[in-house]
Amino acid sequence: MTAESATAPATESAKRCAVLGSPIAHSLSPVMHRAAYRALGLDWTYEAVDTAEDELPSVLNRRDEHGGPYWAGLSLTMPLKRVVLDHVDERSQTTRALGVANTVVFSDGLRKAHNTDVPGAVAALTEARADRIVTARILGGGATAASAAYAVSRLGATHIEFRVRAPERAAAAAEFARGRGAHVEVTPLHRPMLNVVDVVVSTVPDSAIGTRAHELVDAADVIFDAVYEPWPTHLARAAQERGRTLIGGLDLLAHQAARQIRLMTGQDVEAQFLREAAREELNRRHSRS
Protein backbone atom coordinates (compact mmCIF):
# COMPACT_ATOMS: atom_id res chain seq x y z
CA MET A 1 0.00 0.00 0.00
CA THR A 2 1.32 3.39 -0.93
CA ALA A 3 0.98 6.82 0.63
CA GLU A 4 2.26 10.29 -0.08
CA SER A 5 6.01 10.37 0.53
CA ALA A 6 7.03 11.58 3.97
CA THR A 7 9.44 10.77 6.74
CA ALA A 8 7.40 8.83 9.28
CA PRO A 9 8.20 9.09 12.98
CA ALA A 10 10.11 6.25 14.58
CA THR A 11 7.87 3.41 15.73
CA GLU A 12 8.82 3.55 19.39
CA SER A 13 6.36 2.99 22.22
CA ALA A 14 3.96 5.42 23.87
CA LYS A 15 3.44 7.69 20.87
CA ARG A 16 0.32 9.86 20.96
CA CYS A 17 -2.01 10.56 18.05
CA ALA A 18 -5.50 12.06 17.80
CA VAL A 19 -8.24 13.33 15.53
CA LEU A 20 -9.14 17.00 15.88
CA GLY A 21 -12.36 18.74 14.84
CA SER A 22 -15.65 20.03 16.15
CA PRO A 23 -17.93 18.21 16.69
CA ILE A 24 -15.81 15.08 16.96
CA ALA A 25 -17.52 12.61 19.32
CA HIS A 26 -19.01 10.66 16.41
CA SER A 27 -15.65 10.04 14.70
CA LEU A 28 -14.69 6.48 13.81
CA SER A 29 -11.02 7.38 13.47
CA PRO A 30 -10.10 6.32 17.04
CA VAL A 31 -11.60 2.86 16.46
CA MET A 32 -9.67 2.34 13.23
CA HIS A 33 -6.32 3.71 14.39
CA ARG A 34 -6.41 1.84 17.70
CA ALA A 35 -7.24 -1.41 15.87
CA ALA A 36 -4.26 -0.76 13.59
CA TYR A 37 -1.91 -0.14 16.51
CA ARG A 38 -2.97 -3.41 18.15
CA ALA A 39 -2.44 -5.32 14.90
CA LEU A 40 0.97 -3.73 14.41
CA GLY A 41 2.05 -4.34 18.01
CA LEU A 42 2.44 -0.63 18.76
CA ASP A 43 1.94 0.82 22.23
CA TRP A 44 0.41 4.00 20.79
CA THR A 45 -2.64 5.99 21.85
CA TYR A 46 -5.25 7.74 19.71
CA GLU A 47 -8.00 9.99 21.03
CA ALA A 48 -10.67 12.37 19.76
CA VAL A 49 -10.08 15.99 20.80
CA ASP A 50 -12.89 18.50 20.22
CA THR A 51 -11.03 21.47 18.73
CA ALA A 52 -12.45 24.70 17.33
CA GLU A 53 -10.44 26.87 14.92
CA ASP A 54 -9.23 29.26 17.61
CA GLU A 55 -8.10 26.33 19.78
CA LEU A 56 -5.97 24.68 17.09
CA PRO A 57 -2.67 26.52 17.79
CA SER A 58 -2.66 25.55 21.47
CA VAL A 59 -3.39 21.90 20.65
CA LEU A 60 -0.62 21.79 18.03
CA ASN A 61 1.82 23.46 20.43
CA ARG A 62 1.41 20.94 23.25
CA ARG A 63 4.73 19.65 24.57
CA ASP A 64 5.57 16.40 26.30
CA GLU A 65 7.36 16.04 29.64
CA HIS A 66 10.73 16.34 27.89
CA GLY A 67 9.81 19.51 26.02
CA GLY A 68 9.35 17.75 22.68
CA PRO A 69 6.19 17.60 20.54
CA TYR A 70 3.32 15.99 22.42
CA TRP A 71 1.91 14.40 19.25
CA ALA A 72 3.32 11.93 16.72
CA GLY A 73 0.49 12.53 14.30
CA LEU A 74 -2.91 14.17 14.00
CA SER A 75 -5.95 13.59 11.82
CA LEU A 76 -8.03 16.65 11.00
CA THR A 77 -11.67 17.07 10.11
CA MET A 78 -13.97 20.07 9.82
CA PRO A 79 -13.52 22.94 10.46
CA LEU A 80 -9.72 22.57 10.48
CA LYS A 81 -8.72 21.19 7.06
CA ARG A 82 -7.85 24.58 5.57
CA VAL A 83 -6.79 26.62 8.60
CA VAL A 84 -4.25 24.02 9.75
CA LEU A 85 -2.02 24.97 6.81
CA ASP A 86 -1.25 28.27 8.56
CA HIS A 87 0.37 26.32 11.40
CA VAL A 88 2.68 23.78 9.68
CA ASP A 89 6.28 23.81 8.47
CA GLU A 90 5.95 21.64 5.38
CA ARG A 91 3.15 20.82 2.95
CA SER A 92 2.94 17.82 0.67
CA GLN A 93 2.45 18.42 -3.04
CA THR A 94 -1.28 17.69 -2.74
CA THR A 95 -1.84 20.09 0.15
CA ARG A 96 0.08 22.82 -1.65
CA ALA A 97 -2.03 22.38 -4.76
CA LEU A 98 -5.36 21.98 -2.99
CA GLY A 99 -5.04 24.14 0.12
CA VAL A 100 -6.58 21.34 2.20
CA ALA A 101 -4.92 18.96 4.68
CA ASN A 102 -6.34 16.19 6.86
CA THR A 103 -3.11 14.90 8.38
CA VAL A 104 -0.17 16.38 10.28
CA VAL A 105 2.91 14.30 11.06
CA PHE A 106 5.42 15.54 13.67
CA SER A 107 8.84 14.46 12.47
CA ASP A 108 12.40 15.81 12.65
CA GLY A 109 11.15 18.74 14.71
CA LEU A 110 8.75 19.78 11.95
CA ARG A 111 4.99 19.71 11.37
CA LYS A 112 4.33 18.14 7.99
CA ALA A 113 0.88 18.45 6.40
CA HIS A 114 -0.60 15.82 4.09
CA ASN A 115 -3.90 15.06 2.39
CA THR A 116 -4.97 11.42 2.41
CA ASP A 117 -8.55 12.17 1.34
CA VAL A 118 -7.49 12.49 -2.31
CA PRO A 119 -5.59 9.18 -2.66
CA GLY A 120 -8.22 7.60 -0.41
CA ALA A 121 -11.01 8.64 -2.78
CA VAL A 122 -9.00 7.47 -5.79
CA ALA A 123 -8.47 4.10 -4.09
CA ALA A 124 -12.18 3.77 -3.21
CA LEU A 125 -13.21 4.52 -6.80
CA THR A 126 -10.59 2.14 -8.19
CA GLU A 127 -11.64 -0.60 -5.77
CA ALA A 128 -15.19 -0.28 -7.12
CA ARG A 129 -13.85 -0.38 -10.70
CA ALA A 130 -15.13 3.16 -11.22
CA ASP A 131 -11.78 4.59 -12.28
CA ARG A 132 -12.64 5.72 -15.82
CA ILE A 133 -14.23 9.11 -15.31
CA VAL A 134 -14.83 11.91 -17.79
CA THR A 135 -17.78 13.73 -16.22
CA ALA A 136 -18.46 14.25 -12.50
CA ARG A 137 -21.12 15.99 -10.45
CA ILE A 138 -20.02 16.99 -6.93
CA LEU A 139 -22.61 17.94 -4.34
CA GLY A 140 -21.13 20.54 -1.99
CA GLY A 141 -18.29 23.03 -2.25
CA GLY A 142 -16.21 22.69 0.91
CA ALA A 143 -12.89 21.01 1.68
CA THR A 144 -14.16 17.48 1.04
CA ALA A 145 -15.65 18.59 -2.29
CA ALA A 146 -12.31 20.09 -3.29
CA SER A 147 -10.56 16.80 -2.46
CA ALA A 148 -13.20 14.92 -4.47
CA ALA A 149 -12.58 17.20 -7.44
CA TYR A 150 -8.85 16.47 -7.26
CA ALA A 151 -9.54 12.73 -7.05
CA VAL A 152 -11.83 12.59 -10.09
CA SER A 153 -9.46 14.80 -12.07
CA ARG A 154 -6.67 12.32 -11.33
CA LEU A 155 -8.89 9.65 -12.86
CA GLY A 156 -9.42 11.67 -16.03
CA ALA A 157 -12.45 13.89 -15.37
CA THR A 158 -12.51 16.85 -17.74
CA HIS A 159 -16.00 18.14 -16.90
CA ILE A 160 -16.86 18.81 -13.25
CA GLU A 161 -20.12 20.28 -12.03
CA PHE A 162 -20.46 21.53 -8.46
CA ARG A 163 -24.00 21.49 -7.10
CA VAL A 164 -24.23 23.78 -4.06
CA ARG A 165 -26.78 25.57 -1.92
CA ALA A 166 -24.60 28.70 -1.77
CA PRO A 167 -22.53 29.15 -4.98
CA GLU A 168 -19.92 31.33 -3.27
CA ARG A 169 -18.93 28.39 -1.04
CA ALA A 170 -17.66 26.49 -4.08
CA ALA A 171 -15.40 29.30 -5.31
CA ALA A 172 -12.13 27.81 -4.03
CA ALA A 173 -12.97 24.25 -5.14
CA ALA A 174 -14.10 25.46 -8.58
CA GLU A 175 -10.98 27.56 -9.05
CA PHE A 176 -8.80 24.59 -8.19
CA ALA A 177 -10.66 22.30 -10.63
CA ARG A 178 -10.26 24.85 -13.42
CA GLY A 179 -6.56 24.99 -12.60
CA ARG A 180 -6.44 21.26 -13.22
CA GLY A 181 -7.74 21.91 -16.75
CA ALA A 182 -11.34 20.82 -16.18
CA HIS A 183 -14.40 22.56 -17.60
CA VAL A 184 -16.25 23.62 -14.44
CA GLU A 185 -19.84 24.61 -13.74
CA VAL A 186 -21.25 25.81 -10.42
CA THR A 187 -25.01 25.22 -10.25
CA PRO A 188 -27.63 25.57 -7.49
CA LEU A 189 -28.33 22.24 -5.79
CA HIS A 190 -32.07 22.44 -6.46
CA ARG A 191 -31.82 22.74 -10.27
CA PRO A 192 -33.05 19.76 -12.35
CA MET A 193 -30.43 17.27 -13.59
CA LEU A 194 -30.11 17.86 -17.33
CA ASN A 195 -27.43 15.32 -18.21
CA VAL A 196 -26.07 11.97 -17.05
CA VAL A 197 -22.55 11.93 -15.57
CA ASP A 198 -20.10 9.14 -14.90
CA VAL A 199 -20.10 9.74 -11.14
CA VAL A 200 -21.93 11.84 -8.59
CA VAL A 201 -20.01 12.50 -5.39
CA SER A 202 -22.05 13.75 -2.43
CA THR A 203 -20.24 15.64 0.32
CA VAL A 204 -23.41 17.14 1.81
CA PRO A 205 -25.52 15.86 4.73
CA ASP A 206 -28.22 13.32 3.97
CA SER A 207 -30.85 15.91 4.88
CA ALA A 208 -29.75 18.05 1.92
CA ILE A 209 -30.64 15.23 -0.50
CA GLY A 210 -34.05 14.21 0.81
CA THR A 211 -36.60 13.44 -1.89
CA ARG A 212 -34.17 14.17 -4.75
CA ALA A 213 -32.17 10.98 -4.26
CA HIS A 214 -33.68 9.08 -7.20
CA GLU A 215 -33.30 12.07 -9.51
CA LEU A 216 -29.61 12.28 -8.65
CA VAL A 217 -29.09 8.55 -9.04
CA ASP A 218 -30.90 8.39 -12.38
CA ALA A 219 -28.47 11.02 -13.71
CA ALA A 220 -25.26 9.15 -12.79
CA ASP A 221 -23.64 5.77 -13.43
CA VAL A 222 -21.71 5.61 -10.13
CA ILE A 223 -22.79 6.97 -6.73
CA PHE A 224 -20.15 8.00 -4.17
CA ASP A 225 -21.65 9.24 -0.89
CA ALA A 226 -19.02 10.53 1.55
CA VAL A 227 -21.46 10.18 4.47
CA TYR A 228 -21.06 7.06 6.62
CA GLU A 229 -23.56 7.77 9.40
CA PRO A 230 -26.51 7.43 9.21
CA TRP A 231 -26.29 4.63 6.66
CA PRO A 232 -27.79 3.84 4.27
CA THR A 233 -28.53 7.40 3.23
CA HIS A 234 -31.36 8.39 0.89
CA LEU A 235 -28.83 8.46 -1.93
CA ALA A 236 -27.44 5.02 -1.05
CA ARG A 237 -30.91 3.45 -0.91
CA ALA A 238 -31.80 4.93 -4.28
CA ALA A 239 -28.52 3.66 -5.77
CA GLN A 240 -29.20 0.15 -4.44
CA GLU A 241 -32.74 0.20 -5.83
CA ARG A 242 -31.48 1.25 -9.26
CA GLY A 243 -28.58 -1.21 -9.24
CA ARG A 244 -25.91 1.47 -9.47
CA THR A 245 -22.31 1.04 -8.36
CA LEU A 246 -22.25 2.45 -4.82
CA ILE A 247 -19.26 3.73 -2.84
CA GLY A 248 -19.86 4.83 0.74
CA GLY A 249 -18.22 7.09 3.26
CA LEU A 250 -16.88 4.08 5.13
CA ASP A 251 -14.91 3.08 2.04
CA LEU A 252 -13.37 6.56 1.80
CA LEU A 253 -12.71 6.66 5.54
CA ALA A 254 -10.90 3.32 5.55
CA HIS A 255 -8.72 4.06 2.53
CA GLN A 256 -7.67 7.49 3.76
CA ALA A 257 -7.02 6.15 7.28
CA ALA A 258 -4.75 3.40 5.91
CA ARG A 259 -2.66 6.13 4.33
CA GLN A 260 -2.63 8.19 7.53
CA ILE A 261 -1.40 5.20 9.49
CA ARG A 262 1.38 4.67 6.95
CA LEU A 263 2.44 8.32 7.28
CA MET A 264 2.33 8.30 11.08
CA THR A 265 3.83 4.88 11.85
CA GLY A 266 5.74 3.89 8.72
CA GLN A 267 3.80 0.61 8.62
CA ASP A 268 0.94 -0.70 6.49
CA VAL A 269 -2.55 -1.86 7.38
CA GLU A 270 -5.10 -2.97 4.79
CA ALA A 271 -8.10 -0.71 4.24
CA GLN A 272 -10.42 -3.72 4.51
CA PHE A 273 -9.18 -4.40 8.06
CA LEU A 274 -9.96 -0.80 9.06
CA ARG A 275 -13.34 -0.89 7.32
CA GLU A 276 -14.33 -3.98 9.29
CA ALA A 277 -13.28 -2.37 12.58
CA ALA A 278 -15.34 0.73 11.78
CA ARG A 279 -18.35 -1.32 10.72
CA GLU A 280 -18.25 -3.32 13.95
CA GLU A 281 -18.25 -0.07 15.92
CA LEU A 282 -21.23 1.25 13.97
CA ASN A 283 -23.09 -1.99 14.65
CA ARG A 284 -22.35 -1.63 18.37
CA ARG A 285 -23.66 1.94 18.36
CA HIS A 286 -26.83 0.90 16.59
CA SER A 287 -27.42 -1.99 19.00
CA ARG A 288 -27.21 0.42 21.95
CA SER A 289 -29.63 2.93 20.45
Active site residues: 81
Long-range own/partner contacts, residues 191-196 (CB < 8 A, 24 or more apart): 191/163, 193/137, 193/218, 193/219, 195/135, 195/219, 196/220, 196/221
Q: Of 122, 92, 62, 102, give the one whose Cα is nearest residue 261.
A: 102
- What is the strand order of the sheet 103-107 is part of? 45-50, 16-21, 73-76, 103-107, 110-114, 90-91
Greatest CA separation for the chain: 61
- The answer to whether the Cα torsion of 141, 144, 150, 156 is positive or negative is negative
Written as one letter, the residue type at 65 is E
User: What residues form DSSP beta bridges with 224?
Assistant: 201, 247
Strands 110-114 and 103-107, by their bridges, are antiparallel
Contact 202, 149 (CB under 8 A): no
